[in-house]
Amino acid sequence: MQKQNLPSVRTCLLLLILSTVWLLLGAPLTPDQWRSAPLELRQSMLQLPVRMHYIFSRWYGTGLFSSAQAEAISTPILRVWNTEQRRVQLLPLEEYVQCALAAEMPAHYDPQALRCQAVTARTYALHASLLYGGNGCDTVASCDVCTNSSCCQAYADKELQQSQWGAEYSLFHKRTSDAVHATEGLILTYEGLPALPLYHACSGGLTENVQEVFSQSLPYLISVESPGEEAASTYSDHVVYTLEEACTRLRSAFPECGVEPDSLASQLRLQTATSSGRVGTVLIGSALVSGRELRAALDLRSTYITWEADNRTITFRTKGYGHGVGMSQVGAQAMAAEGYSFAEILQHYYPGTCLTRIP
């Protein structure tokens, strides 16, 4: 009889013992269990090849890989869906963070504000990362993140950075890279898992509770004051529509509302405000709509909306820019100018999270 190439009894016994110990320890088995496993455990799994490399180099004098390969393996790699180029890119985490920072925050901001954005961009990516237990990108499920700012985070590659910064490319590339290096490997965690670090351009003085916007409750995404924003160009805005224009927009977004130019002022009634004072729900004729829907229909900068009408026009005034949840970029810049460190600023906007280093 021909001998088959099967594992030896000793190997099978070893595997059996290892599996039993794994089960007895209560270690995760299913994808769901892995998803809720502590961050340290998942990181250990990712780091296993590199640690084996170090053990081998100590025992035998030569490792499993070259030191450059070992470093490459120890760096988390993201699967990024490039929305514009419609292709998947594999990017080392820190390289992705510099590109996201370049696209998401003005590069002339204070170094401490840039560091805040580097940490939030890195945390966002790991929160979404499939390897770290995230759910990946909503648009392309097999990728960790995409480059569409309304889905994941904005992204500027070298070419885009050169065109957006022009003659100041070297300076701004250095400023953003410095912020990434100064915070290398730092993320925000909550109960041992990467936090969801939502952020926006300007809060208008007070950030928003996450459940008022995204119907989920997270204890570190609560309304906090955001002082010092008043001087920013994004702090307040107003849009003037003729009564006819406003009615056309509202009827196209909410066909059942039945508003008329002559009576629009009395047909637009605030029903509920959120705890931060933004529009929760508003009655438009006979349609009850959310502040977010009203903002989208009228192309406004935020849901911090008030309005006044005369017999020809209606003016919508807004405070801030964006959904208002989490860190205000303008607020972070204002705190940095006051001398706060990036760690203090992040603690202000994401209370209860920990600044943790991924090994």
Residues found near Zn ion in the complex (CB under 5 A)? 137, 139, 146, 151-152
Closer residue to Zn ion, CB minimum distance, 85 or 271 = 85
Shortest spacing between CB 153 and Zn ion, in angstroms: 8
Burial of 210 (0-12, 13-18, 19+ CB in 10 A): buried
Closer residue to Zn ion, CB minimum distance, 70 or 213 = 213
270, two tokens: 């605030």
Closer residue to Zn ion, CB minimum distance, 137 or 287 = 137
Shortest spacing between CB 142 and Zn ion, in angstroms: 11
Closer residue to Zn ion, CB minimum distance, 69 or 139 = 139
* Bridge partners of residue 28, in order along the sequence: none
3-state SS class at 173: helix
Task: Tell me which residue has tokens 């496993």.
Answer: 37
Shortest spacing between CB 64 and Zn ion, in angstroms: 35
* Bridge partners of residue 210, in order along the sequence: none
Task: Tell me which residue has tokens 């701004």.
Answer: 172
Closer residue to Zn ion, CB minimum distance, 97 or 336 = 97
* Bridge partners of residue 90, in order along the sequence: 79
| Cα–Cα distance measured from residue 121 to residue 101, given in angstroms and rounded to the nearest whole number | 7
| Cα–Cα distance measured from residue 156 to residue 176, given in angstroms and rounded to the nearest whole number | 12
Closer residue to Zn ion, CB minimum distance, 100 or 300 = 100
Shortest spacing between CB 187 and Zn ion, in angstroms: 19
Shortest spacing between CB 23 and Zn ion, in angstroms: 36
* Bridge partners of residue 79, in order along the sequence: 90
Q: How far is CA 254 from CA 258, 270, 294, 296, 348, in A?
A: 8, 16, 9, 11, 38
Task: Tell me which residue has tokens 């290096």.
Answer: 181
Query: Are residues 119 and 341 in contact, defined by beta-carbon separation less than 8 angstroms?
Result: no
Length of the chain: 359
Closer residue to Zn ion, CB minimum distance, 133 or 204 = 133
